[in-house]
A and B are shown apart, each in its own frame.
Chain A
Amino acid sequence: MTTGPVLVLIDHSDDGTVRPAVRELLALAARFGPAHGVWVDASGPSPEALAELGAFGSATVHTVVPAESHHLTPVIAAALAAVVRAAAPRAVLLTSSFEHKEVAAVLGALTGAGVVVDVAALDEVDGTLVATKQVFAATWTTRCAIRTPFAVVAVKPNAAEAVRSDAGPATLLAHAADPAGAARGVELVERSERSPSGRPDLSSAQVVVVGGRGTEGDFSLLDELADVLGGAVGATRVATDEGWIDHEAQIGQTGVTVSPRLYIGAGVSGAVHHRGGMQSAGTIVAVNTDPEAPIFEIADLGIVGDLRTVLPAATAELRRLLG
């Protein structure tokens, strides 16, 4: 039986705002031990961030100010490894973004930890952590036992529900910066962070409205439907390659993976690469003029029709019904 705290890498934007997924990670961590945040950057958390982290279950936040750019994933991993040595945790939880999966891989290589990424649920069976994840474009579910005493787990959105309490701000515990060298010679030349869109974050949204080539570049009908449903807007690679919408809206095997309660695809054929990023959605609705479109093979509600008439009609009706 392993003991010790469960560390959560605090994912935050460059201006120090804690990303919403962290709240879920803290709630998940608390099931297996005391949840401790880990904050890696040049300036440390603001008082607001500490209040938020305290309220969402992290009584302690470990800080490390690395000698090299804190955006480089091996630097983050080395900082985490330093906290791991000091705090002897039973696990480290991170978000399952591309960057943090990389941090997980380096941390695993540095510490000998068993690592599982893209995890949808985490449980404890006879003292062993068992991670549930979906593979093969979400057509299979696997459960993976982590055999090492210390585990590293990258968790997808919605794996746990955030829990807010009236606990006070988190207490800081500073750790010495490790000497330079973790970056192994890599230099960050440029970084520009995108500003948030005002819509829910695609990867964690409960409703996602997705457009493909069939939109012919006009996403306004999708935007309107997404607004009524409070959803995020996503796209196929064709739509992002055409420049109709930003690259980060791409859903699929080489883009974002989504698991919303509701996925609505319009003018999307349902290519295998796209399915890989959306097939675990709760309910799938598809609007396509081609009755043979492969997306209809996985749609709970398939509508053979033109998105240019079906979407506005649905939006108008929803506005009426929802008042």
Chain B
Amino acid sequence: MRIVVCVKHVPDLMAERRLVDGHVDREQGDGTLNELDENAVEAALVLAAELDAEVVVLTAGPDDAVDAVRRGLQMGADRGVHVLDPGLAGSDVFATARVLAAAVRTIAEQGPVDLVLTGMASLDGLTSMLPAALATELGLPQLSLASELTVVDGIVQVRRDLDHATEVLRSPLPALVSVTDQSNEPRYPAFAGIMAARKKPVDVMTLDDLGVDPASVGADGSRTEVIDATERPPRENRLLITDEGDAGARLAAYLVDHKLV
């Protein structure tokens, strides 16, 4: 059995994040493995231990995106695949899905892929669209936003909490599942894991290796284009007061003065 986990390298949430020419500025210091993808890696590792599966961590992104793959390997995944190609720059969600789908198919040439796992959203774009786009591209059943996940006898079952409802979905493998931050508590890599990860292989694949036409991805292959990006100006006239018994009344007066009630 083989599980592929899609992970993304994103700018650190705590660092200042910027856009340059409509794209996420990756020059601003350190990036990290998208926190929500740690839940996907964790889910894969738990299932792999149960089902004796190989876990492959997959990313598409620039040079330092390999750090996200490394983190997955340190947590315990078996090997990595990094799709690295100058033609990727500026890819939108559908172009990214096309590339990742081609990578999953290439991985499957070495033996079937039973499960593709992703995080619920990347914390830089936060669109949550990639899992559905990738499942459609691969023609796989999609079970998204799983807060619980089980695989028994080749059947995957998830529970998902939506805005207005809670659902249980089920499908036969192979399938694509996205997991939420509620699904598990990601492990912290142990020292032994960090040492072991150094020896684990990471295959670098280009668009050519994957048989993806460069014109169909990157900025040219994308259907939407960011035409401007502006930083929100800081809030002005901010007020900080300390309660001296009258703060409740001052709060009420503030709301009335600012016509908020």
| A and B: bona fide binding partners | yes
Q: Which of B93, B167, B248 contacts A317 (CB 8 A)?
A: B248
A243 to B252, CA, bound (A): 30
**A71 CB to closest chain B CB, in angstroms?**
7
A261 to B261, CA, bound (A): 10
| Given A135-B19, A140-B229, A141-B229, CB of A316 within 8 Å of CB of B171 | no
Asked if B247 contacts A102 (CB within 8 A), the reply is no
A143 to B235, CA, bound (A): 21
A138 to B128, CA, bound (A): 17
Segment 73-104 of B: residues with Cβ below 8 Å from A: 92-94, 97
For A, the interface residue count at a CB cutoff of 8 angstroms equals 91
Q: Is there a chain A Cβ closer than 8 Å to B50's Cβ?
A: no
A229 to B261, CA, bound (A): 6
Q: Is there a chain A Cβ closer than 8 Å to B187's Cβ?
A: no
A276 to B22, CA, bound (A): 20
Asked if B224 contacts A116 (CB within 8 A), the reply is yes
Q: Which chain B residues border A99 with CB–CB below 8 Å?
A: 162-163
Q: Is there a chain A Cβ closer than 8 Å to B58's Cβ?
A: no
Asked if B165 contacts A194 (CB within 8 A), the reply is yes
Q: Which chain A residues border B146 with CB–CB below 8 Å?
A: none
Chain B residue with minimal CB distance to A190? B168
Q: Which of B18, B123, B133, B242 contacts A305 (CB 8 A)?
A: B242
Asked if B241 contacts A108 (CB within 8 A), the reply is no
Asked if A276 contacts B126 (CB within 8 A), the reply is yes
Chain B residue with minimal CB distance to A247? B161
Q: Which chain B residues border A188 with CB–CB below 8 Å?
A: 167-169
| Given A185-B171, A300-B235, A300-B239, CB of A105 within 8 Å of CB of B254 | no
Q: Mark A288-323, 1 if CB is under 8 A from B, else 0.
A: 000100001011111111100111111111100110
Asked if A74 contacts B136 (CB within 8 A), the reply is yes
Asked if B171 contacts A254 (CB within 8 A), the reply is no
The stretch of A26-34, A42-50, A85-93, A144-152 in contact with B is A144-152
Most chain A CB atoms below 10 A, which of B22, B166, B256, B260: B260
Q: Is there a chain A Cβ closer than 8 Å to B180's Cβ?
A: yes
Asked if B165 contacts A191 (CB within 8 A), the reply is yes
Q: Is there a chain B Cβ closer than 8 Å to A256's Cβ?
A: yes
Q: Is there a chain B Cβ closer than 8 Å to A156's Cβ?
A: no
Asked if A184 contacts B141 (CB within 8 A), the reply is yes
**B261 CB to closest chain A CB, in angstroms?**
6
| Given A186-B141, A193-B165, A313-B249, CB of A145 within 8 Å of CB of B225 | yes
A285 to B238, CA, bound (A): 10
Q: Is there a chain A Cβ closer than 8 Å to B118's Cβ?
A: no
Q: Which chain A residues border B230 with CB–CB below 8 Å?
A: 140-142
Asked if A285 contacts B120 (CB within 8 A), the reply is no
Which residues of chain B have a CB within 8 Å of any CB of chain A? 13-14, 17-19, 22, 36, 92-94, 97, 120-121, 123-133, 135-137, 139-145, 157, 161-172, 175, 180-182, 222-232, 235, 237-243, 247-256, 258, 260-261
Additional A-B contact list (4), CB under 8 Å, known A105-B131, A115-B223, A317-B253:
A101-B128, A191-B168, A229-B261, A304-B241
23 A-B residue pairs with CB within 8 Å: A74-B132, A115-B94, A117-B127, A117-B129, A118-B127, A140-B229, A140-B230, A140-B231, A142-B22, A145-B226, A147-B222, A194-B165, A229-B261, A253-B126, A273-B13, A276-B126, A300-B237, A301-B239, A303-B243, A303-B251, A309-B248, A312-B248, A313-B251
